[in-house]
């Protein structure tokens, strides 16, 4: 895992400590995401990676796994650069 | 975490306090009886930049920092909770729009909201739907170049004068948010009167009958209204209501302190009676604790910390209960006078009760706060 993926994993692991989350695992299918986590996750990626999540990004596929979140961050960081 | 106010924040608070003492508090009882606020007051709030002050400078707003924003809300609420509720709903809509509106919507509406040329209101509650927001019955249907809305909204704060409604409906069962202009064909606004608390908040019922709005008025994406748009709006609303509740509690304390010093029974001011002092002590400590929770929430919000959601909820939960307790004791200290219109404390009690119901009732917070806490176990 790269640094971005590691940070995402650290954040998500706070919410399900007993599971060793893998980069491609579907966090929705695992049942770990509820409406409380949804906005906290948005706040986390914005604060940690300095990006802005916007209306176009509201797609479950962007938040489905560590890999997906990492790709969203890469895309948004590229767009901002 | 440093919770001391900066020199700029103290100066801002002095400005807000002076304005509320001169132009709001003296008229609050009359507005409460009339069940409305004057249009001139909205003009003054606009002129002073007190409406939409959370809008980013990118859209012509002041981008007021979260703590100064809270102080503004407290001081306005100390004068009149109905006026506070105008700031609450307008700023909730602006915040949700800034967060999840398309670029087109943001550019079209946020500059006007920052200048309060158009007032925003939240159209979420319905005759049959309160806390269970995902079950809204208002329906939106995709009809080519437009969305067509049908349904009823109730308890829309300042709906009587708002020009823009952040409206929640379902699209084939999926909760979805829309921005609806007041002049939209098929939308009827009916004033609601006779509410007990925040009586001057100019509530309205909204009736959507084949109400057609352009496709571009969608906020966020279909299906994301509850998890993101409502969550964002209510989070902002809870921050505002929390500070507003502190304002009510502070007003109760000041009124009770003055009354207890001037009212004599058994040959001494009632402030000398220990049971009165006990009530004053609870008020003094409660209001300080509530304000500290608000400051902590504000500090986390300012830094964009994910923990801000939970801390804002905790602040709203505690402060709204403090407002009710303080107002209840303030009425008790005032005795029979407290039950009359000659003193403001009965209004404080009615207004305090509202803060425990709106933006997530006390019971919804009691269900949700432990969920946040258990998330990390």
Beta bridge partners of B170: B139, B175
B101 touches chain A (CB under 8 A): yes
φ/ψ (deg, to 5) at B117? -70, -25
**Residue numbers in B near A40 (CB within 8 A):** 306-307, 309
Which one is predicted more confidently, B2 or A23?
A23
Of A34, A40, A54, the CB nearest to B306: A40
Confirm whether B359 is a catalytic residue.
yes
**What does the pLDDT average to over B53-67?**
93
Q: What pLDDT, in 10s, does the model give residues B230-240? A: 999 999 999 99
Q: What pLDDT, in 10s, does the model give residues B263-322? A: 999 999 999 999 999 999 999 999 999 999 999 999 999 999 999 999 999 999 999 999
Instruction: Retrieve residue A4's tokens.
Output: 């971005």
Return all residues near B121 (Cβ < 8 A) that are at least 6 apart. B89, B90, B93, B156, B157, B158, B159, B162, B164, B165, B166, B204
Q: What pLDDT, in 10s, does the model give residues B94-122? A: 999 999 999 999 999 999 999 999 999 99
Q: How far is B220 from chain A (nearest CA, A)?
A: 5
Give dist(CA B309, CA B361) in Å, integer. Answer: 16
Question: Which range among A8-17, A46-55, A62-71 shows the weakest confidence by mean pLDDT?
Answer: A8-17
Of B226, B228, B303, the CB nearest to A58: B228
Reduce the DSSP state of residue B69 to 3 states and report it.
Answer: helix
Q: How far is A7 from chain B (nearest CA, A)?
A: 14
Give dist(CA B201, CA B185) in Å, integer. Answer: 25
Give dist(CA B337, CA B259) in Å, integer. Answer: 10
Beta bridge partners of B169: B176
Q: What is the pLDDT of residue A80?
A: 52
CA dihedral B267, B325, B80, B113 (to 10 degrees): 160
Q: What is the pLDDT of residue B374?
A: 78
Q: What pLDDT, in 10s, does the model give residues B179-221? A: 999 999 999 999 999 999 999 999 999 999 999 999 999 999 9
Q: Which of the four pLDDT bands, split at 50, 70 and 90, describes residue B49?
A: very high
- What is the value of ipTM here, to two decimals? 0.88
Q: What is the pLDDT of residue B377?
A: 52
Annotated catalytic residue, options B35, B75, B311, B359: B359
What is the pTM for the complete model shown?
A: 0.95
Q: What is the pLDDT of residue B193?
A: 96
Of B101, B226, B305, the CB nearest to A55: B101
Q: How far is B22 from chain A (nearest CA, A)?
A: 39
Q: Which of the four pLDDT bands, split at 50, 70 and 90, describes residue A48?
A: very high
């Amino acid at each position: 895992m790269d640094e971005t993926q590691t940070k995402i994993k650290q954040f998500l692991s706070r919410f399900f400590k007993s599971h060793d989350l893998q980069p491609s695992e579907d966090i929705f299918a695992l049942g770990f995401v509820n409406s409380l986590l949804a906005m906290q996750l948005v706040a986390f990626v914005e604060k940690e990676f300095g990006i802005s999540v916007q209306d176009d990004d509201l797609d479950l596929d962007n938040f489905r796994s560590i890999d997906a979140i990492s790709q969203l961050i890469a895309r948004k960081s590229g767009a901002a650069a | 975490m440093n919770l001391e106010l900066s020199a700029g924040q103290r100066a801002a608070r002095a400005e807000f306090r002076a304005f509320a003492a001169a132009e709001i508090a003296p008229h609050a009882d009359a507005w409460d009886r009339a069940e409305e606020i004057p249009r001139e007051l909205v003009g003054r709030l606009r002129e002073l930049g007190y409406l939409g002050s959370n809008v980013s400078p990118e859209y012509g707003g002041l981008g007021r920092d979260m703590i100064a924003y809270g102080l503004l809300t407290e001081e306005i609420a100390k004068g009149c909770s109905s006026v506070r509720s105008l700031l609450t709903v307008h700023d909730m809509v602006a915040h949700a729009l800034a967060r999840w509106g398309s670029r087109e919507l943001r550019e079209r509406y946020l500059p006007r909201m920052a200048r309060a040329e158009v007032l925003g209101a939240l159209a979420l509650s319905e005759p049959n739907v309160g806390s269970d927001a995902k079950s809204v019955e208002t329906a939106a249907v995709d009809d080519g170049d437009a969305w067509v809305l049908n349904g009823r909204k109730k308890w829309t704060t300042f709906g009587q004068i708002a020009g823009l409604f952040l409206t929640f409906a379902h699209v084939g069962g999926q909760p979805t948010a829309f921005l609806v202009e007041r002049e939209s064909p098929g939308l009827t606004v009916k004033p609601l009167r006779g509410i007990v608390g925040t009586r001057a908040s100019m509530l309205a019922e909204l009736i959507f009958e084949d109400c057609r709005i352009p496709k571009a008025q969608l906020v966020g994406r279909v299906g994301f209204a509850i998890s993101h748009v409502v969550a964002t709006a209510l989070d902002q609303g809870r921050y505002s209501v929390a500070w507003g509740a502190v304002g009510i509690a502070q007003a109760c304390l000041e009124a009770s302190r003055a009354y207890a010093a001037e009212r004599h029974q058994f040959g001494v001011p009632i402030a000398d009676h220990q049971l009165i002092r006990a009530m004053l002590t609870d008020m003094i400590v409660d209001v300080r604790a509530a304000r500290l929770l608000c400051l902590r929430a504000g500090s986390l919000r300012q830094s964009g910390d994910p923990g801000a959601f939970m801390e804002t909820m905790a602040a709203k939960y505690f402060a709204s209960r403090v407002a009710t307790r303080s107002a209840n004791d303030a009425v008790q200290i005032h005795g029979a006078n407290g039950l009359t219109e000659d003193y403001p404390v009965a209004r404080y009690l009615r207004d305090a009760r509202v803060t425990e119901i709106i933006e997530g009732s006390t019971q919804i917070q009691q269900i949700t706060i432990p969920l946040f806490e258990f998330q990390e176990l």
